[in-house]
Structure 1
Amino acid sequence: MTVSEAEGEVFAPASIAAQFVQARLEGVSVPGYPGGVLPQTMAQGYAVQDLAIDLWPDELVGWKVGLVPPQHQQRLGAERLAGCIFKTKVWQAGEAPTPFRAIAGGFTAVEAEFVIRLGRDAPAGKTGWTAEEAADYVGELLVGVEIAGSPLAVINQLGPPIVASDFGNNDGQILSTAIENWRDIAWEDMPAETFINGVSVGRGGAAAIPGSPLAALAFLLGHVAARGRPLKKGMLVTTGASTGIHDIAAGDKARVDFGPFGIVDCVAVPAR
């Protein structure tokens, strides 16, 4: 544990994890970071996340990958970060907008995602991967929408270790169609545009993900193996916010247009 000399408090991962999990289960916000002492490193953030995963009453079925902002990368020794996705927080998009919760007083956003479904188990002990090696483990490439969400309103402002500590700021995943013959399509030809309440708020696509979605998968394969949680066949990996991170509130409607690969509609509803 790390002592906060100014406050005389300690960094207590178990207490932090328990408070975040309870708030998420109840669908309520937290007034500030639980305990007041922030994780200072990515390792400390993931220590909280691992404890919270074990406390959460659901099956781990996938992971989200996000970018560490450039101004933090050298200090933290990380370019990307990981969060967890659970079975009951995965929804299949349909014709009607898919509802998802927005915790009042917390943080909620939508992200246009290119999602990989693993085609086979990854080796448990392999912690270094290239994008080319990662490609052999892709079963499907789908389009979808990540619901970024946390009981902590200022989670992104506090920095990547704090984001990592609360499920990587993930609160769900909407899946849509698979991209057929994706290996024969250039990343530049996989567009995405996000709209909130009919207004365009971001454009991009698979090519906007640094190094490609396969680079994000390569990071995650090594990262979770090092944590003793290697990827298994069927697991989902969201590869990055391809049009940006777009804040949303209860009552707002979002639409992500993936061009030839379809449209995903969803709507934020109050958390219960």
Structure 2
Amino acid sequence: MTKAPEEFSPKATAEAFIEARASSGTLPTYPGPFPPDLTDAYAAQDAAINQWPDEIAGWKVGRIPEPFAGQLGADRLIGPIFSQLIKPGTDDVVQAGIYGAGFAAVEGEFILEIAEDAPADKTEWSLSEARDIAARVCAGIEIASSPFPAINDHGPLVTITDFGNNYGLIKGPEIRTLLDMPPDYWECETYVDGEKIGAANAAGMPGGPIESLRYALSNAAARGRPLKKGMLISTGAVTGVHQVHAGQHAEIRFVTGVSIRCAFEDNGIHQHAAE
């Protein structure tokens, strides 16, 4: 008798990632079948959010490339950024924890801060409406890290299930001149261990950073998690996703001379225990 194929379980997937993030810091293989669609992927993410002992203070937005974008009907994905994993970008080197036995990357990003609570029942947003709810733009670094080493090797649905591969955010200073400028003015350069490994502007992302905010507003509200005043939206990797390891250093240089530096250290076991 042929055994029926195992079905994807949002609950079991969430529990496996929560356990790995809160205890061992490593998940060598994916815990079961891959999610079949966006609904199931975000169901797993929501189940994990409900178990994690911290408040959402923002969302990371990532790009979904082709052919996945056409197949899924979306060119962005989002994942929660928790309050205790947000650090200020200062003149000093910021210590950034990663899952050393998993996957880790540095991403130079522009952060949009939300000016006011979004209406809870509003799930459709235009670009102009998204721009109007943005209070300011800041320089930032997303720390992308997961206890699953192959988090980015199996497509965006897998990435979504583990908090969108987010493990924190470094918020730098405001860049006052950018909010009403077109995406090709939103420029930054990425350096790892002193070597320049990327330089680009946000025009490479369809719709630019405001489109990322628009998508986050719509997606979060549709899941019963409307954006709140003061939340931070990390709008997407401008120069790309650059893999790093414990002991390395990175610097992101933004327009107008703003710069953020960080050093990566292996957290091993997360400072929180899952509830």
Q: TM tier, shorter chain?
A: over 0.9
C-alpha distance in structure 1 between counterparts of 2:18 and 2:180, whole Å? 42
SS state at 1:210 partner: coil
**Which of 11, 16, 19 is the aligned partner of 1:19?**
16
SS state at 1:24 partner: helix
1:30 and 2:27 matched: yes
Using the TM superposition, give the Cα deviation of residue 191 of structure 1 relative to its aligned residue in structure 2, in angstroms: 1.4
Using the TM superposition, give the Cα deviation of residue 184 of structure 1 relative to its aligned residue in structure 2, in angstroms: 4.6
Instruction: Provide the residue aligned with 2:193 in structure 1.
Output: 197
Alignment of 1:81-230 (within 5 A): 81-230=77-226
**Identity of aligned pairs, percent?**
40
Residues 65-74 or 163-172, more deviating: 65-74
Using the TM superposition, give the Cα deviation of residue 125 of structure 1 relative to its aligned residue in structure 2, in angstroms: 1.3
| Cα contact 1:205–1:243 (8 A) shared by 2 | yes
| Cα contact 2:136–2:179 (8 A) shared by 1 | no
Q: CA RMSD in A?
A: 1.5
Question: Structure 1: which amino acid aligns with 2:224?
Answer: G
Instruction: Provide the residue aligned with 1:267 in structure 2.
Output: 263
Deviation per residue, 1:139-176 (Å, 9 max, x gap): 11101100011111111111111000000010000000
Using the TM superposition, give the Cα deviation of residue 7 of structure 1 relative to its aligned residue in structure 2, in angstroms: 6.6
Q: Unaligned regions of 5+ residues in structure 2, if any?
A: 269-275
| Cα contact 1:177–1:261 (8 A) shared by 2 | no
C-alpha distance in structure 1 between counterparts of 2:62 and 2:9, whole Å? 25
Question: Structure 1: which amino acid aligns with 2:168?
Answer: G
Question: Structure 2: which amino acid aligns with 1:22?
Answer: E
Q: Unaligned regions of 5+ residues in structure 1, if any?
A: none
C-alpha distance in structure 2 between counterparts of 1:257 and 1:42, whole Å? 34
C-alpha distance in structure 1 between counterparts of 2:239 and 2:128, whole Å? 24
Deviation per residue, 1:69-88 (Å, 9 max, x gap): 11111211211101110000
Residues 233-242 or 70-79, more deviating: 70-79
**Which of 42, 59, 65 is the aligned partner of 1:63?**
59
| 1:263–1:56 Cα change, 3 Å | same
Question: Structure 1: which amino acid aligns with 2:142?
Answer: E
C-alpha distance in structure 2 between counterparts of 1:164 and 1:221, whole Å? 16
Instruction: Provide the residue aligned with 2:252 in structure 1.
Output: 256
Deviation per residue, 1:12-48 (Å, 9 max, x gap): 21111111011111251101111x2110111111000
Question: Structure 2: which amino acid aligns with 1:11?
Answer: F
| 1:198–1:79 Cα change, 3 Å | same
| 1:22–1:75 Cα change, 3 Å | same
Would you say how many aligned residue pairs link Structure 1 and Structure 2? 267
Residues 65-74 or 107-116, more deviating: 65-74
Question: Structure 2: which amino acid aligns with 1:222?
Answer: S
Q: TM-score, normalised by structure 1?
A: 0.94
| 1:176–1:32 Cα change, 3 Å | same
